[in-house]
Every structure is written in structure tokens, then in C-alpha cells.
Amino acid sequence: MVLRAPAQILACPLDPSWRRWDMFGPSYRQIPAEATRRCASPRRLRPLHHLGLVALDWEAAPDDARVVPMTSAESGDVEWRYEQGSPHHVHAETTIGGVLVHIDMVGATKFGPGRSFTEFRIFVAGRLAGRGGRCGCSLVIGGSDLPAVARLGRGQAITVDAHGERPVVEVWGV
């Protein structure tokens, strides 16, 4: 994925605890209690018509491991647990219908046992409005609840799905 120069996005609403997320715990699927209904409700929406792809300029966040590598002091684990460049965090922003939409893509690859996850968080007007992710492990467990879905307003939703390295972001009439 080609990333634009960092620091174009001035504030990221994602909780910094994401760097310690894992598929074994603390889980990347957990969301704050007050956002549970806001994130669950859009997953039941039915897309009626496609309103278009959203072209985004993704950038590495300031807490991406390429900027701030994970340390054993931060993770509480051994140095070799994280793959180089992990955990990763890229994000993008756009305005749709006059509302700011911020999308985070975070993930990590860890060893002992080998495992990885990718998680999308969608913030609409500064509030967590949707999530979705996938994970896999060398112990032959994993799963996916992609795409991430968030309601944009009455009659519209946004989805984010993982296709290769580049996320696909779409707006739908619902």
C-alpha cells in the first residue's frame, strides 16, 4: 500500500490500547460498552444500491510500529513475539454528506504460536460507529466478520473490506 506523508491527520480517535490487541486477548473485537449498539445495528442493514467507491489517501499513524516499534516493556512480552513492522496502524479521513469519516486499519503479526489479525474501526463524526476484522493462527483457528459497516445517516452506510493490502471502501444506499 502506498501511504501519503504522515501527519496529515491531526487527531486519531482510536484508543491507544490497540497496540496490545491480539486474537487471544485482549481481543481486537472488543469495543467500549457505549458503542456496542451503534456498531451492531449497521451489520443488520441490507444494501439496496451501490453509491460508489471511496478513494482514500492512507497514511501511517504516529503509533505505527514503523514510527514507534513495539517494546517488551510496552507489550509485557518477549522481544521476538512481534514481527518487524508490527503492530501496524494506517488511517484515512474523508467527508461524506458533510460528516467527517475516519477509518483506522490496525493489525499485528505475532509468533509463538504464529498469528495475525486485521481490524477496521469506522468513526463517524468522532464516534465509533462500526468495526470488522479477521484473524488466523497456525493452530488452525481464526475467522472473519468483515466487512466493517457503519451507518452514515438515514439511508446510507459505509463498508470497509480487506482485499489484499489495500482496503476497499464503499458507500451504499440502505
Whole-model pTM?
Answer: 0.93
Residue 21 neighbours by CB distance under 10 Å = 21
User: How many residues belong to the chain?
Assistant: 174
pLDDT in tens, 80-101: 899 999 999 999 999 999 999 9
According to the model, what pLDDT value does residue 105 have? 97
pLDDT score for 6: 61
- Taking 50 as the pLDDT cut, the residues of the chain under it are none
CA 113: distance to chain centroid?
A: 23
Residue that is written with C-alpha cell 444494501 in the block: 47
pLDDT value, residue 4: 67
Residue 165: what pLDDT? 76
Residue 36 grid cell: 456496542
Per-residue H/E/C for 95-131:
EECCEEEEEEEEEEEECCCCEEEEEEEEEECCEEEEE
Query: Could you tell me the end-to-end alpha-carbon distance of the chain, in angstroms, rounded to an integer?
Result: 30
Q: Pairing state of beta strands 156-163 and 166-173?
A: antiparallel
Asked if 14 and 32 count as a contact pair (C-beta separation under 8 A), the reply is: no
Return the pLDDT at 163: 84
pLDDT at 26: 77
pLDDT at 62: 93
Q: What is the pLDDT of residues 37-46, one digit of tens each?
A: 999 999 999 9
Query: Strand runs (DSSP E) across the chain, as ranges?
Result: 49-53, 59-60, 88-96, 99-110, 115-124, 127-137, 142-144, 148-153, 156-163, 166-173
- Least Cα distance to 105 among 93, 91, 125, 124 occurs for 91
